[in-house]
A and B are shown apart, each in its own frame.
Chain A
C-alpha cells in the first residue's frame, strides 16, 4: 500500500502509507467521532464510536487502513443512529450522573452524546455496583464512569512503563483493575505526572484538587461541540 487519497463524505483526503482512516482524517482536520482512539497511542478499536462505512463495509476508522480511492461515509443518518445507540449503551452500562461529575462539560462521552442528540438512555439502566478507589493521595478512580477504553492501560504500560492498570473479568463483568495485591491504587506505583493520569476521556480518573478549577459553564464543550475542538483533556485537569 502506498500513499494516495481517500474521500470522506465526498471530501478528498490524502494519506501516507500505513495510515489508518482516522489518522488520515485527523491530519486533514476532518472529525470522526471517537473515544478509545488517541493519536499518541496504539490503536485499540473497542468503543466503535468511529465506525464508518468504507467501500460499503462498516469498519472502525481508528484501525482500518486507508487505501487509495477508498470512499468513506462518516456523517450519515445511519451512522449517527448507530453512534447514538453505542453512546446509550455506554451510559446504561455504567453510572453516569453528569450533574455531579467533576468532568461535566469537559467529558468526551457527554460531548458526543450532545453531538449525536442523545436525549434519553433508550435502554434500561444496569445500575452496576462498582468500586470507587479513593485510597491514593493524588488520584481518585471512579469506576462508575469508566467506559473501558483502555487509554490509561496503554498510557501506563507503553509510556510510563508501569502497567498500573488493566482490564480484568469477561463480558459485561469486565472492569478496570489496578496492579497491586490489595487491589488499591495507593499500593501501586502510580505517581503524579504519569501520562496515565492525563488521558481518561471521562471522569473516571480524577486528579485531586483540579476538578473544579474551571467552573461549569465555562468548560471545553460547554460552548462548542466536540467535532469542532476535538477530543481533549483540558489543561486545567492535567
Chain B
C-alpha cells in the first residue's frame, strides 16, 4: 500500500481540496475523496484540511468521525462492507461473511496482517431484493452465495484489482414486478419542463395541488403546500434538494427509480425549480449508491445538451437551473431533511432546530424544498399529464401510486407499484408471501403487523410508508427482529439528544438480555417507560421511532417474549461472577471460593 508521511498526506489532501475549490461546504465530499485515495482519513489530513479550508481542526475531526464510511485507521485496498440488513441475515449472510474471512485469513473488522483486506459489516445497503449483498470498494455485490464468495476470494488472492473483476459480479437487477402510473408510462424527457413553461408556474403548482400529491419519503406532507411556502419565502435565491439517502432498512425503490427513470426525477426537480424560482438543484445520494453516480451524471450531461438544464432552459429567458450530485458517507440520519442539509453544507449530520423549516431557511440559509426521489418523479409526471390523471388513482387522502420495496420471505422480491389503498394481503398475494407471520411496513421506523391486520391498507390514513414492505414468514423470531433493529438505531443515532443517544443503547442492551433469556417480566417495565420517553422527548424522527420495533413486537407477538422471560421478577443486570474474572486472573485463583453463584441477565 502506498504509504505517505504526514507531509505527503497534507500535500495530497491539499490537491483533493483544490479539486473542490477549497470550499469548506464541500467537506463531506472532500473527506470521501481523501478516504478513497488514502484508504482512511489520517490525523495529518485533519490538520491539512483545517488549515486549507480555514476551519478548526476539531471541527474537521467532528465531521470525519461522524460518518461510517470514513475511518481514522487504514482500510484495505480490498474493502468489503457486507450488508447487515435483517433480510440479508435471513438469506444466510453470516455464513458468507465467515466464509470470506476464513478464505482470506482475515478477522471481521480487523485489517489483514498485510493491510490489503478489510471485511466489515454495514447497515442495509438497499439491495434487499437480491441479498445477501454488500459493497467492495464502493461497488455493489449482490446475490452472494458460496460460489460467488469463492470466486471473490480467488480474485483477491490473485491480486486482481476490483476494477478488473468480471462485470457480472457487480450487476444490480431492477426486479420490477408491477408497473403503474410512474413505471408503466414514462414521459418523454422534456415533457414536464415544456408543460410548466406553457402552463406557467402558478398553474403548475395548482396542478400538483389538484393531484393531491403527498411526500413519498414517509411523512406525507402535501407537496404543493411545501412548494408554495418556499415560493413565498423572502429570498433572492432558492434551492431544490432531492433526498436520495434511502437509508431505511428494507427500502430500495429510489435506487430503482434513479436507475430506470432518472429523467423523470430530474424533470420533477426542474419543474419544482420553475415553480419556486430556484437556480440550484442538489441530489443527496446515499454513499452506498455511489455506483449510480456516473450514469446519473451522464443523464445530467445529456439534459444540459438538450437545453433542459443550464442557462435559459428551453430558451426561456431567466429560467436557469442546474443539478449537482452530492454523496453521503454512511449515516442513516442524513435522510432526515435538516440533517441532510447540514451534511450538504459539509457538517455533521445533526438535525436542526425547527422552526425555521427548510422551506424558510435551508441550504446555506436559503429557502429550500427537500423532497423524496419518488415525490419528484411523481411531480414530473403530474406536470406532463395533469393533476386529474394522478388523483384518479389511489384513495381520497392518498392519491396516486406507491412504489413498494418488497423483500424477505416471499417468492418474488422486488419493486411493486400499487395504487394507494392496496391491502397488505393483496401485496403479499402478488409477491408470493401469503402465509407470512408478520410484515414490517415502512421499515423498522414504520409499523410491524401480524396476520390479523393484513386487511389494512397502504395509505397515509392507515399504514403510511416510505416504501419498505418486509415479509417475515412462519417461524421467524420477532424478538430477534426487534433486537436487530434496536441495534441499528443505536448505531445510527447521531448522538445529539439525550433520549435517543443514550436511550437507543439502553434499549438495545435490554433487548439483548431478553433475547438471551436473561430478563424477567418486571424488566420490561423500565424499557416500556423508556420507549415512551424516547417517543415524546427526542429531537427528531429517529429517536421518536427507534423504540417501534420493540413496542410493536411486544404488543403483537407477546408469545415470542414470554418464551424467553425468566419468571416475573427483575433479573440482576450485573454479573458478579464475571466481574471477579480480572481479580481471579491477577491472583491466579480459580477455586470455588473465588466464584460467586448468582443468576443474572
Encode contact with A along B396-429: 1 for CB under 8 Å, 0 otherwise: 0000000000000000000000000000000000
- A166: B residues at CB distance < 8 A: 56, 58-59, 61-62
* B62→A47 contact, CB < 8 A: no
Nearest residue (CB) in A for B43 is A181
Interchain Cβ contacts under 8 Å between A and B, 20 examples? A46-B496, A46-B498, A47-B498, A81-B529, A82-B532, A85-B530, A126-B505, A148-B495, A148-B501, A166-B61, A167-B495, A170-B67, A170-B331, A170-B494, A171-B494, A171-B495, A172-B493, A172-B504, A177-B58, A181-B57
Task: For A62, give the chain B residue with the smallest CB separation.
Answer: B353
- Verify if A89 is at the interface (C-beta below 8 Å from B): yes
Establish whether residues B494 and A82, one from each chain, have CB atoms under 8 Å apart when the complex forms. Answer: no
| A58 contacts partner chain B, Cβ-Cβ < 8 Å | yes
Q: Which residues of A contact B532 (CB under 8 A)?
A: 82
B497 within 8 A of A: yes
Q: Scan A161-175; emit 1 where CB is below 8 A from any B CB, else 0.
A: 001111111111110
| Whole-angstrom CA separation of A174 from B495 in the bound complex | 6
The one of B43, B348, B506, B509 in contact with A89, judged by C-beta atoms closer than 8 angstroms, is B506
A51 and B494 in contact, given A93-B502, A181-B43 (Cβ under 8 angstroms): no
Query: How many angstroms from the CA of A82 to the CA of B213 in the assembled complex?
Result: 37
Cβ 8 A contact of B59, one of A58, A163, A170: A163
The residue in chain A whose Cβ has the minimal distance to the Cβ of B513 is: A124
Contacts of B493 in A (CB 8 A): 170-172
B389 on the interface (CB 8 Å rule)?
Answer: no
Q: Say whether A43 faces chain B, with CB atoms less than 8 Å apart.
A: yes
Q: Which residue of B lies closest to A57 (CB)?
A: B536
CB pair B495–A170 under 8 Å, yes or no, is yes
* Given contact pairs A124-B574, A179-B56, a sample of 6 additional A-B residue pairs in the complex whose CB atoms are under 8 Å apart: A85-B529, A86-B498, A166-B59, A167-B495, A172-B504, A179-B58
State which residues 536-579 of B face A: CB under 8 Å.
536-539, 573-574
The one of A63, A165, A174 that contacts B58, using a Cβ cutoff of 8 Å: A165
CA distance A93 to B490 in the complex (A): 13
Write out the residue numbers on chain A whose beta carbons fall within 8 Å of the beta carbon of B175. none
Say whether B504 contacts A171, CB under 8 Å. yes
In the complex, chain A residues whose CB is within 8 Å of the CB of B504: 171-172
**Contact present for B58 and A46 (CB under 8 Å):** no
Known: A82-B536, A168-B62, A179-B58. A45 touches B495 (CB 8 A): no
Q: Which residues of B contact A89 (CB under 8 A)?
A: 498-499, 502-503, 506
CB distance from B550 to the nearest CB of A (A): 14
Report Cα–Cα, A220/B499, bound state, in Å: 28
3 closest A-B pairs (Cβ-Cβ)?
Answer: A174-B495, A163-B56, A89-B502
- Contact yes or no, B61 A177, CB < 8 A: yes
Contact for A45 among B57, B331, B497, CB less than 8 A? B497
A58 touches which one: B46, B57, B348, B537 (CB < 8 A)? B537
Q: Does B355 contact A (CB under 8 A)?
A: yes
**Do B353 and A178 touch across chains, with their CB atoms under 8 A apart?**
no
What 1/0 flags go to A38-49 for Cβ under 8 Å of B? 000001011111
Closest chain B CB from A91 CB (angstroms): 10
CA–CA, A63 to B573, complex, Å?
Answer: 37
Contact partner of B536 (CB less than 8 A), chosen from A51, A122, A124, is A51
A171 touches B491 (CB 8 A): yes
* A90 and B498 form a contact (CB under 8 A): yes
Whether A171 and B492, one on each chain, are in contact in the complex, defined by CB atoms closer than 8 angstroms, is yes
Chain A hits for B353, CB < 8 A: 43, 45, 63
Chain B interface mostly: helix
Cα A84 to Cα B119 in complex, Å, equals: 42
Question: Considering only CB atoms, which chain B residue lies closest to A162 in the complex?
Answer: B56
Complex Cα distance A147/B496, Å? Answer: 11
B56 → A minimal CB distance (Å): 4
> Contacts A60-B539, A82-B536, A85-B530 hold; do A172 and B496 have CB atoms under 8 A apart?
no
Question: Given that A85-B530, A124-B573 are known contacts, is A177 also in contact with B62, CB under 8 Å in the complex?
Answer: yes
Q: Does A11 contact B (CB under 8 A)?
A: no
A122 to B530, CA, bound (A): 10
A67 CB, min distance to chain B CBs, angstroms: 11
Task: Confirm or deny: B109 has a beta carbon within 8 angstroms of a beta carbon on chain A.
Answer: no
A65 within 8 A of B: yes
Contact B539 A45 (CB under 8 A): yes
A92 within 8 A of B: yes
A180 within 8 A of B: yes
Q: Are A163 and B58 in contact (CB under 8 A)?
A: yes
Is B65's CB under 8 angstroms from A48's CB? Answer: no
B314 within 8 A of A: no
B295 within 8 A of A: no
Q: Which of A45, A123, A126 sits near B530, CB closer than 8 Å? A: A123
- Closest approach, in angstroms, between the C-beta of A42 and any C-beta of chain B? 9
Return B47 CB to nearest CB of chain A, in Å.
Answer: 6
Interfacial chain B residues near A126, Cβ < 8 Å: 505
Rounded to whole angstroms, the CA-CA distance of A165 and B61 in the bound complex is: 11
* A163 to B54 CA separation, bound complex (whole angstroms): 12
Which among A82, A168, A169, A171 is the interface contact of B533 at CB below 8 angstroms? Answer: A82
Proximity string of chain A (58-89) to chain B, C-beta cutoff 8 Å, 1 when within and 0 when not? 10100101000000000000000110011001
Please encode chain A, from 117 to 138, with 1 for each CB lying within 8 Å of some chain B CB and 0 for all others.
Answer: 0000011101000000000000
Does B307 lie at the interface of the complex (its beta carbon under 8 Å from any beta carbon of A)? no
User: CA separation between A49 and B502, bound complex, in Å?
Assistant: 14
Q: A48-B497, A124-B574 are in contact. Are A172 and B502 (CB under 8 A)?
A: yes
* B200: interface (CB < 8 Å): no
Can you name the residue of chain B whose Cβ is closest to the Cβ of A126?
B505
- Out of B495, B497, B498, B574, name the residue touching A169 (CB < 8 Å): B495
For the complex, what is the distance from the CA of A90 to the CA of B500, rounded to whole Å? 11
A174 partner residues in chain B, CB cutoff 8 A: 495-496, 501
